[in-house]
Chains A and B, each alone.
Chain A
Amino acid sequence: MSASLYLCAHALAYVGPGAGFAFLGSFLVLLVALVLAVLSVLLLPLRIAVAALTGRAGVLGAGGSKRVVIVGLDGLDPGYLRGMMADGTARNLASLAEAGVFSDLRTTCPAISPVAWSSFATGVNPGKHNIFDFLGRDLRTCIPELSSCRIRTARRSGLLRRARAEISLLRGSQPFWKVLGDKGVFSTVLRVPITFPPEKFRGLSLAGMCVPDLRGTQGSFTLYEEAGTRGEAVETREGPEGGSGVCVPVALRNGRMSSRLSGPAVGARAMDAPFSVRLDSDRRGARLRVGGETVRLRVGEYSPWMRVKFRRGLRTAAGICRFLLVSADPVFRLYVTPINIDPERPAMPLSHPPYYSAYLAKLHGPFATLGLAEDTWGLSSGALDDASFLRQTIDIHEERRRMFFDALRRTRRGMCCCVFDMLDRVQHMFYRDMDEEHPAHRPSSGAAGDPVREAYRRADELVGDVMKELRKGDLLVVLSDHGFGTFRCGVNLNRWLEECGWLKTRPDASGEDCLRDVDWERTKAYSFGLAGIYLNRKGRERRGVVDEEEALSLKREIARGLLDLRDAQTNEPVVSRVYDSRETYSGPYRDAGPDLVVGFLRGYRISWETARGRVAGDVLTRNAKPWSGDHCMDPALVPGVLLSNRKLDLTRGTPHIMDIAPTVLGFFGISRPAYMDGLLLAIEEAAA
């Protein structure tokens, strides 16, 4: 055996030019590394001098070799967690609580992820960071829009005069990792919401919640379905109604089909990319060909991430997606995830520095880049079943976990932070199984088991593994942005305002979204999104009618009316508290937010209709959708969680999510900036 190998090696040896390039390439890398190492040593005295002169800390940065690890668990509910700690299921989180701190964490008003995580990042109230909801509105048109970033198409000057996208982050203030960086502390920040487009700072970041898909939406799946069966099982909507799924009828001939994936739009038309499927003769699997690659599909199993290149003329855009053969017999159904932006060739910036997403993709393979990556719409519409949705959610969790642990091991000092979304998504979609009174309650989730409990178990396991990576002196913070509650009934605030006479509709109102039915000249208050009520104020809204003096009394009247609102079915109140923006917020963006934040009692939330800016419908509607858990209720009822491996001084009372930023700064010996609203939670020294 060894002789034949020896002979082969000689007989087949051919040294082409590639080997020479490889050698030269390696040599160059080595040479550059050596030069950089020598320069680094030679420049050390100069760097120390510059650091001293500019007020930055020494070459190690403030805090020397200290390290903070932050694990964000979106939606971790303190009540549910206590139950799991008590029955011994959440052992790692329980041991963390025993060693350090376990407390409720007061959240923002409203208790919504983009708002709360922005306050986590900046240490300020929404009046200073400008994120009050998922949605904001253009005051000139009052059309609701995404609150966190603005994408405008601008004309480039020059010979080609090609259109280009201008993307700007609308979150104000600055994240505490920018302050850390200014003091020489390096941070790695993964998937914190409202970090798109990524900002520059001394560190690495990967953008999270609200990153769009390649089509520019917040996530649009596609279902390819054998012609003639459309509409039998899947309710997908497209176009004016604003649904997220697209159902494409396809024809199979001799077990083969071919179609096109729809990509980003160029002008009026979308770029597309071809793919084809050949079913096995037994119809238990298939071969998929897309982007020059072929993979096997099995019924009920996802493909790996597949790279897809979209073309139109000279333009190209790179995306990634996963395919799921939902069924092959008797009806062919193929689900395709939203087309995520390819992290290796991002069409929009996903990370800071821009190459960091490509580095992560090279290291770990392609990964979900969409902000709200778990396809809740896919499950709601029936395109995905429970098991397929959960598989997708777990896969995304595992991708992020791999990235995070790699970053953690590489962060020897400074800050390493990552937000995980699984708990939030699973509770949104499966709360109905825990609440026997929920209109969509199912006595048993069947094959899916107890998805919420399983998600908490995985979160506990994650924290346990993080604890194993800790070194003496490290500070570990585990936190959530809000808790969770059941969502049994939607409250159509616009309809209620209309009934009370504060909102008037146009004579031609036809039940449309985006506040199109509102008669602005006669309307005093309106609602959209998930936070609360806006007054139609003179000098703010373009067609405002409410002046400053009237605003005060109007707010009081509306608040009184809301507190009197009762659910006719139970005769119970619906609202626990109404928060006046003038008392709740401070800062330069205060007037951009809602004038009244409605604190609903558990079980209630702003209705689907109001969220979309619709007026039509009943005031109260039972929610029979799979999206059955929520947190858009009185912030006092859905606090988040704070856990730490070190004792924190909580003698001032329940900590607030805004306190995390000054506390981390304090850990590195950096004073709390005057603009921050959060307070330092003093950290007990680590045992010697």
Chain B
Amino acid sequence: MFGPSVRLDKALAERLEQAAAARGYATMHEFVRHVLEEAVRDSEETQSEDEVRHRLKGLGYLE
């Protein structure tokens, strides 16, 4: 509700709505978020292997 928001013009928002629906997203917000996540992912730090191991510790399926 109080998070950052991005302003789009109405025509683009409508095109995004249509594109989101055509691709199987539930909402335009999900579509935009996914596209933006993909766009910034390469510039972000990867998790270290130790961090990942630590977080998976205890998962019974991985005894």
Contacts and interface: CB of A to CB of B under 8 A. Distances in A.
B47 interface: yes
A457 interface: no
Given A377-B63, A588-B24, A140 B46 contact: yes
B58 A213 contact: yes
Interface string B30-48: 1100100000011010110
A242 B55 CA distance: 10
A610 to B, nearest CB: 10
Contact of A627 (B30, B41, B55, B60): B60
A417 to B, nearest CB: 19
A516 B52 CA distance: 13
A526 B30 CA distance: 30
Interface in B1-54: 1, 21, 23-27, 30-31, 34, 41-42, 44, 46-47, 49, 52-54
Contact of B55 (A124, A145, A244, A338): A145
B46 A612 contact: no
Interface in A544-589: 586-588
Given A138-B47, A380-B63, A675 B56 contact: no
Contacts of A608: 62-63
Interface string A380-421: 100000000000000000000000000000000000000000
B53 A174 contact: no
B49 A514 contact: yes
Interface string A200-214: 100000000000110
Contact of A138 (B21, B46, B63): B46
Given A128-B24, A173-B30, A588-B24, A141 B46 contact: yes
B41 to A, nearest CB: 8
A608 to B, nearest CB: 6
Nearest to A376: B60
Nearest to B31: A588
Given A587-B24, A675-B21, A675-B25, A143 B49 contact: yes
A122 interface: yes
A219 interface: yes
A172 interface: yes
B60 A146 contact: no
Given A144-B52, A172-B30, A173-B26, A338 B58 contact: yes
Contacts of B23: 587-588
A291 interface: no
Nearest to A212: B55
B42 A140 contact: yes
A377 B52 contact: no
A151 B54 CA distance: 12
A200 B49 CA distance: 32
A520 to B, nearest CB: 15
A674 B21 contact: yes
Interface residues of B, number: 28
Contacts of A380: 60, 63
Nearest to B44: A152
A608 B54 CA distance: 17
A316 interface: no
A151 B46 CA distance: 12
Given A172-B34, A174-B26, A675-B26, A143 B59 contact: no
A215 B30 CA distance: 30
B16 to A, nearest CB: 13
Chain A: interface residue count, which band? 35 or more
A377 B24 contact: no
A338 B59 CA distance: 12
Interface string A508-543: 000001101000000000000010000000000000
Interface in A608-635: 608, 611-612, 625, 627, 632
Interface in A212-226: 212-213, 215-220
A143 B62 contact: no
A174 B27 contact: yes
A432 interface: no
Contacts of A152: 44, 47
Contacts of B56: 135, 144-146, 217-218, 242
Contacts of A516: 49
Given A140-B42, A172-B34, A173-B25, A217 B55 contact: yes
B58 A217 contact: yes
Interface centre among A140, A144, A218, A612 (most CB of B within 10 A): A218
A197 to B, nearest CB: 14
A134 interface: yes
A611 B55 contact: no
Nearest to B57: A217
Interface in A124-164: 124, 127-128, 134-135, 138, 140-141, 143-146, 151-152
A243 interface: yes
Given A173-B30, A675-B21, A514 B52 contact: yes
B57 A242 contact: yes
Contacts of A377: 58, 60, 63
Contacts of A244: 57-58
A16 B54 CA distance: 52
Nearest to B25: A588
Contacts of B62: 134, 242, 608, 611-612
A611 B53 contact: no
Contacts of A240: 53
A128 B21 CA distance: 11
A365 interface: no
B61 A220 contact: no
Given A174-B30, A377-B63, A218 B24 contact: no
Given A172-B30, A338-B58, A514 B24 contact: no
B60 to A, nearest CB: 4
B25 A218 contact: no
A673 interface: yes
A338 B46 CA distance: 27
A380 B62 CA distance: 12
Contacts of B58: 213, 217-220, 244, 338, 372, 377
Contacts of A220: 57-58
B27 to A, nearest CB: 6
A598 B40 CA distance: 33
Given A513-B53, A587-B23, A673-B26, 13 more contacts: A124-B26, A140-B41, A140-B42, A143-B47, A152-B44, A220-B57, A220-B58, A377-B60, A514-B52, A588-B23, A588-B24, A674-B21, A675-B26
Task: Give me the 7 closest cross-chain CB pairs, A-B, nearest first.
Answer: A219-B58, A218-B58, A376-B60, A587-B24, A217-B57, A244-B58, A218-B59
18 contacts: A122-B26, A134-B62, A141-B46, A143-B46, A172-B26, A173-B30, A174-B26, A213-B58, A217-B57, A219-B58, A243-B57, A244-B57, A338-B58, A514-B49, A514-B52, A588-B34, A608-B63, A632-B61
